[in-house]
């Protein structure tokens, strides 16, 4: 796991108060992320995760009641991590102009896909729960809002009434092509990534306004 993942409290059956308990849960998430990335979602049994995390199954059940809860915890953690990366990009965008904002954004998220095999395994499989899918839909809306702020900060877009919809559309387009680029190639299909940049640059060129 290349990035630190955290368990959102809202996804826990019981929120740990002691530092030791939080460390155990962090270990559970790290183990689950590793198993997911190397062996797939079928490896995420309560017994296997507890054994790999060196805790009792009973202790694991106190916080996460079943495999779906582990999947939802991982999904929530991955989405929070992605939004954190996007927020960091927004701060950079406000600090200085980029030669090519579309290039920076596509490359940043291609790097994330390359470095997170657990995320790829979960998103490309068929095991997302309905709660995880709902969380992803809300995540996409928040990402589009941040994309809007990045485009304005970089002078790519004028602050217009229809910019919200345009940025949401751009994010959905980019996300779909990004997933397809990495679905069969862990390094990302370079042709698809290149064409995604071309398409998004052309789309964004309409945002500058008069």
For residue 7, pLDDT over 60 is answered with no
Both structure tokens of 145 = 């809002």
Angle between helices 46-53 and 19-39 (to 10 degrees): 120
Q: Where in the chain do CATH 1.10.10.60 domains reside?
A: 9-63
For residue 188, pLDDT over 90 is answered with yes
**Range 9-63 classified under CATH 3.90.79.10:** no
Mean pLDDT across the stretch 183-202? 96
Asked if 169 and 97 count as a contact pair (C-beta separation under 8 A), the reply is no
**How confident is the model over 121-175, as pLDDT tens digits?**
999 988 888 989 999 999 999 999 999 999 999 999 988 889 999 999 999 999 9
**How confident is the model over 67-124, as pLDDT tens digits?**
998 998 899 889 999 999 999 999 999 999 999 999 999 999 999 999 999 999 999 9
CA atoms of 84 and 77, how far apart (whole Å): 10
Return the minimum-mean-pLDDT range out of 63-67, 76-80, 206-210. Answer: 206-210
Task: Return the CATH architecture of domain 67-204.
Answer: Orthogonal Bundle (1.10)
Q: Where in the chain do CATH 1.10.357.10 domains reside?
A: 67-204
Asked if 7 and 73 count as a contact pair (C-beta separation under 8 A), the reply is yes
What confidence score (pLDDT) does residue 1 get?
46
């Amino acid at each position: 796991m290349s990035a630190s993942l955290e368990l959102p409290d809202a996804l826990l059956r019981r929120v740990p108060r002691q530092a030791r308990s939080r460390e155990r849960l962090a270990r559970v998430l790290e183990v689950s992320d590793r198993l997911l990335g190397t062996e797939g979602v079928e490896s995420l049994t309560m017994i296997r995760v507890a054994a790999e995390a060196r805790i009792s199954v009973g202790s694991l059940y106190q916080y996460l009641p079943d495999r779906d809860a582990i999947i939802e915890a991982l999904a929530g953690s991955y989405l929070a991590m992605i939004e954190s990366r996007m927020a960091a990009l927004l701060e950079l965008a406000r600090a200085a102009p980029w030669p090519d904002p579309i290039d920076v954004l596509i490359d940043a998220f291609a790097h994330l896909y390359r470095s997170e095999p657990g995320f790829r395994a979960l998103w490309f499989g068929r095991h997302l729960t309905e709660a995880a899918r709902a969380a992803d839909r809300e995540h996409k809306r928040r990402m589009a809002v941040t994309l809007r702020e990045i485009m304005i900060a970089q002078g790519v877009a004028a602050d217009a009434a229809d910019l919200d919809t345009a940025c949401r559309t751009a994010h959905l387009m980019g996300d779909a092509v990004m997933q397809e680029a990495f679905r069969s190639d862990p390094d990302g299909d370079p042709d698809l990534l290149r064409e995604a940049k071309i398409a998004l640059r052309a789309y964004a060129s309409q945002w500058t306004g008069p």
